[in-house]
Amino acid sequence: MIVDCAYYQDGLRQGKDSVSLEEAAARRGEGGFVWLGLFDPDADELARIREAFGLHELAIEDAQIVHRRPKIESYDEDVRLVVLRTARYNSQAEEVEFGEISIFVAPTFVIAVRQGEASELRKARRRLEQRPELLTLGTESVLWAILDEVVSGYPLVVKELETDILEVEATVFSGAVAPTERIYSLRRQATGFYRIVHALLAVVTTVKRTITASDLLPYLRDVEDDLLLANDDVAAQRDLLSTVLEANLAVISVEQTKVSVRQNATIEQLTILATIFLPLTFVTGFFGQNFEWLVGHINTLAAFIIFGLGGLALPIVLLFWWLKRRSPQKDPEGMPAFTRVG
């Protein structure tokens, strides 16, 4: 879809309304240049643009795919393709959305192909139209305006990511467990953001080295400074998230250890109860048999106390004595020591 198509000459836009593609292509030889903006164009639109402006077929194919990183490439003698990656923070989804802008730059035209919602360029066009002294420098001023617009959106993303990271960091270092999935998500976003910011540095350096309008160099240096700052901030965020992730895993390990300790204490108590009742169960089972001697001799209160209750008390005493000998004791220096049996 064509968003805007305008012809510029002597630093001014010729006409307020958007012109047709054919008219723009015909006027680009009158001494000015054409600035064409498209958003998610289909194959037919790109085919028309290729025919009208004589673009290389590989350049059109390159503009249709989504690149992982920014790049700059020359297809013809005077036509360059500059690929930029845009970014904006979605507050509702709490994640970074990425877009792409493919810019064909030639002395007589600039074609900006936007993909994704995070690639708005209306502000860049309006701001440059208010600077006729820059527009007179030609299509390179448009490239600077787009670069500046893209890079100016990076600090906002850095700020929003910083807020989320500090929130997760405060949770982890307070001793509570933060959702590991959330930390991984933030680290993945920070890593992806760092890749596009870091790769864009090489693109800006190449533009600075090859630009013909020397008056634009201070403006490009300003873009480069903002980009370097964003690059350092995102690199620091990525490293911080690695530390937060390690700390969160340590907190999870501590919590799991606490659960294991509680489980071991419960098992120990159940084991003690089972150990106590094992000999008692044996004694009661033995005396519960209807042997003739038992039936004939344990028929008085004294016999019941001696054989019955005594038979239960004796294994309890022996078990207590055995556990006492097996329990750890402290040596004279206060360290636990275990007595040897036998």
Residue 248 has pLDDT above 90, yes or no: no
Residue 252 has pLDDT above 60, yes or no: yes
Edge-to-edge order in the sheet of strand 71-74? 12-13, 2-9, 33-39, 109-115, 95-106, 80-90, 71-74
Give a yes or no: residue 55 inside a domain: yes
Q: Which residues pair with 329 in a beta bridge?
A: 337
How far apart, in whole angstroms, are the C-alpha atoms of residue 204 and residue 143?
10
Instruction: Give me the number of domains the chain comprises.
Output: 2
Return the higher-pLDDT residue of 148 and 330.
148
Return the higher-pLDDT residue of 231 and 256.
231
For residues 243 and 167, membership in a common domain is answered with yes
Q: What is the mean pLDDT of the chain?
A: 82
Give a yes or no: residue 204 inside a domain: yes
Q: How many CB atoms lie within 10 A of CB 128?
A: 22
Residue whose C-alpha is closest to residue 204's, from 219, 215, 189, 214? 219
Q: Is 161 helix (H, G, I), strand (E, B) or coil?
A: helix
For residues 278 and 225, membership in a common domain is answered with no
Residue 273 has pLDDT above 50, yes or no: yes
What's the confidence (pLDDT) of residue 294? 62
For residues 282 and 248, membership in a common domain is answered with no
Residue 182 has pLDDT above 80, yes or no: yes
- Among 60-69, 148-157, 254-263, 315-324, the range with the most confident prediction by mean pLDDT is 148-157
Confidence band for 169, pLDDT divided at 50, 70 and 90: confident
The whole-number average pLDDT for the span 72-91 is: 87
Q: What are the Cα distances from residue 324, in Å, to 138, 157, 313, 327?
A: 95, 66, 17, 5
Residue 300 has pLDDT above 80, yes or no: no
The whole-number average pLDDT for the span 274-289 is: 69
For residues 246 and 283, membership in a common domain is answered with no
Listed as own residue / partner, the contacts of 156-160 with beta carbons closer than 8 Å and 24 or more positions apart are 156/88, 156/89, 157/87, 157/88, 157/89, 157/96, 157/193, 158/230, 158/233, 158/234, 158/237, 160/89, 160/91, 160/96
For residues 25 and 161, membership in a common domain is answered with yes
| Domain end (from 194, 220, 253) | 253
How far apart, in whole angstroms, are the C-alpha atoms of residue 213 and residue 245?
47
Q: What are the Cα distances from residue 97, in Å, to 66, 145, 183, 243, 326?
A: 14, 21, 17, 24, 65
What's the confidence (pLDDT) of residue 1? 82
For residues 215 and 327, membership in a common domain is answered with no
For residues 47 and 98, membership in a common domain is answered with yes
Return the higher-pLDDT residue of 28 and 161.
161
Confidence band for 207, pLDDT divided at 50, 70 and 90: very high
Contact 251, 173 (CB under 8 A): no
For residues 67 and 45, membership in a common domain is answered with yes
For residues 74 and 154, membership in a common domain is answered with yes
Give a yes or no: residue 258 inside a domain: no
What's the confidence (pLDDT) of residue 319? 72
Confidence band for 136, pLDDT divided at 50, 70 and 90: very high
Of 3-7, 234-238, 263-267, where does mean pLDDT reach its minimum? 263-267
Give a yes or no: residue 342 inside a domain: no
Place of tokens 């064509």: 2
For residues 158 and 273, membership in a common domain is answered with no
Tokens coding 83: 């690929």
Residue 178 maps to which CATH number?
3.30.460.20
Residue 338 has pLDDT above 50, yes or no: no
Confidence band for 148, pLDDT divided at 50, 70 and 90: very high
- Interval 82-108: pLDDT, tens: 999 999 988 888 888 898 999 999 999
Q: What percent of the chain has pLDDT over 90?
A: 29
Of 46-60, 130-144, 181-195, where does mean pLDDT reach its minimum? 46-60
| Domain end (from 221, 253, 285) | 253
Residue 41 has pLDDT above 80, yes or no: yes
For residues 121 and 241, membership in a common domain is answered with yes
Of 9-23, 122-136, 262-276, where does mean pLDDT reach its minimum? 262-276
What does R_g of the chain's alpha carbons equal in angstroms?
39
The whole-number average pLDDT for the span 313-332 is: 70
What's the confidence (pLDDT) of residue 341? 40
Range of the domain at 285: 263-337
| Domain end (from 253, 275, 294) | 253
Give a yes or no: residue 155 inside a domain: yes
For residues 233 and 302, membership in a common domain is answered with no
Give a yes or no: residue 113 inside a domain: yes
Of 46-55, 148-157, 201-210, where does mean pLDDT reach its minimum? 46-55
How far apart, in whole angstroms, are the C-alpha atoms of residue 256 and residue 253?
5
Give a yes or no: residue 12 inside a domain: yes
Give a yes or no: residue 71 inside a domain: yes
Residue 16 has pLDDT above 70, yes or no: yes
The whole-number average pLDDT for the span 126-149 is: 92
What's the confidence (pLDDT) of residue 199? 93
